[in-house]
């Protein structure tokens, strides 16, 4: 009859005595192997039998042999030890492999997203990882990946290339903004040509997406059709120019949430659906990246935050 179990776990501190007895088939020999007393071996096995609820050994003269339950427990312990060794080995390999340089490129707007602070926070757990982050428009990011200047990159649009893989990362919303409601809400397909614009690296992609979304009938209309009132080589500078009333521009919403909330900038009001664009991670196709690079890329794919 099964003994009533008092607990639902096995004390693995008892495994050493059990395995020694199972392998030597003798409690005295088991005691010598484990540097325990014979009574200590007997006590450990008795406690283990109490936890299992069934005999583990048949005692024959000075020798012992495993019962069917004992054989099953021995197999379980061996598998448990193997799994533990594998688990610890993978942890050590991951930590030891989490060292070295990881380089990637992205449009400047990505630096203002919530993803970048999350990356820096994750990096604190791996002090041996060094990051080389480069800011560049999407077309330059693709070139840098192809020329092996960076490990991977973020782009605002996909392209067809046999050596590249594009994986969806997130979406970002594009909005037209100005320093006042009056400067923006009267804009339409007829007077958009007259609006002074602020240019910065990558704005052509944002602006052209916005124009196609809001004025789809104007198929030849693009950013080059518009007058440029100011040009600056950073998105931060462009935001300040728009805030200063120099002109209008299109930005990813996450870059100007604070200015919108404080009514320092105003967005174009429309009945059309919001304009979202896919952001992809671009990398070399069929290339086995070092473990440290795969680890950092996995951090990004596992992020869950607003775009």
Mean pLDDT of 45-51: 93
Using alpha carbons, list the distances in angstroms from residue 221 to 25, 41, 193, 285.
87, 86, 9, 35
Per-residue pLDDT at 306 exceeds 90 = no
Q: What is the CATH number that goes with domain 104-301?
A: 3.40.190.290
* Average pLDDT of the chain, as a whole number: 89
pLDDT at 258: 93
Helix 291-301 vs helix 115-123: crossing angle, to nearest 10: 140
Using alpha carbons, list the distances in angstroms from residue 88 to 81, 138, 143, 292.
11, 40, 40, 18
**pTM of this prediction?**
0.63
Which is more confidently placed, 93 or 118?
118
- pLDDT tens digits along 74-108: 999 999 888 888 787 666 666 666 788 999 999 98
- pLDDT tens digits along 241-256: 999 999 999 999 999 9
12-95 under CATH 3.40.50.300, yes or no: no
Domain locations in the chain as residue ranges: 12-95, 104-301
Cα distance between residue 117 and residue 115, in whole Å: 6
Residue whose token pair is 């009859």: 1
Cα distance between residue 171 and residue 83, in whole Å: 40
**CATH topology identical between 12-95 and 104-301:** no
């Amino acid at each position: 009859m099964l003994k009533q179990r008092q607990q639902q776990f096995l004390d693995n501190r008892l495994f050493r005595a059990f395995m020694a007895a199972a392998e030597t088939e003798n409690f005295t020999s088991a005691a010598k192997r484990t540097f325990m007393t014979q009574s200590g071996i007997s006590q450990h096995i008795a406690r283990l039998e109490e936890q299992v609820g069934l005999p583990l050994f048949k005692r024959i003269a000075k020798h012992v042999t495993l019962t069917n339950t004992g054989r099953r427990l021995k197999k379980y312990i061996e598998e448990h030890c193997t799994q533990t060794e594998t688990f610890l080995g993978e942890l050590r390999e991951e930590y030891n492999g989490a060292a070295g340089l990881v380089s990637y490129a992205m449009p400047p707007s990505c630096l203002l997203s919530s993803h970048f602070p999350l990356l820096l926070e994750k990096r604190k757990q791996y002090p041996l990882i060094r990051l080389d982050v480069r800011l560049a428009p999407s077309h330059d990011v693709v070139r840098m990946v192809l020329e092996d200047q960076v490990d991977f990159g973020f782009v605002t649009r996909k392209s067809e290339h046999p050596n590249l893989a594009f994986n969806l990362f997130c979406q970002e919303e594009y909005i037209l903004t100005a320093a006042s409601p009056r400067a923006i809400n009267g804009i339409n397909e007829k007077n958009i040509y007259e609006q002074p614009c602020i240019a910065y690296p990558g704005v052509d992609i944002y602006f052209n997406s916005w124009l196609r979304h809001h004025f789809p009938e104007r198929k030849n209309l693009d950013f080059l059709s518009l007058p440029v009132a100011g040009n600056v080589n950073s998105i931060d500078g462009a935001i300040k120019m728009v805030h200063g009333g120099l002109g209008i521009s299109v930005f990813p919403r996450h870059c100007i949430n604070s200015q919108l909330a404080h009514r320092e900038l105003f967005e174009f009001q429309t009945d059309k659906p919001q304009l979202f664009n896919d952001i992809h991670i671009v990398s070399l196709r069929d290339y086995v990246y070092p473990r440290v690079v795969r680890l950092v890329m996995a951090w990004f794919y596992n992020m869950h935050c607003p775009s």
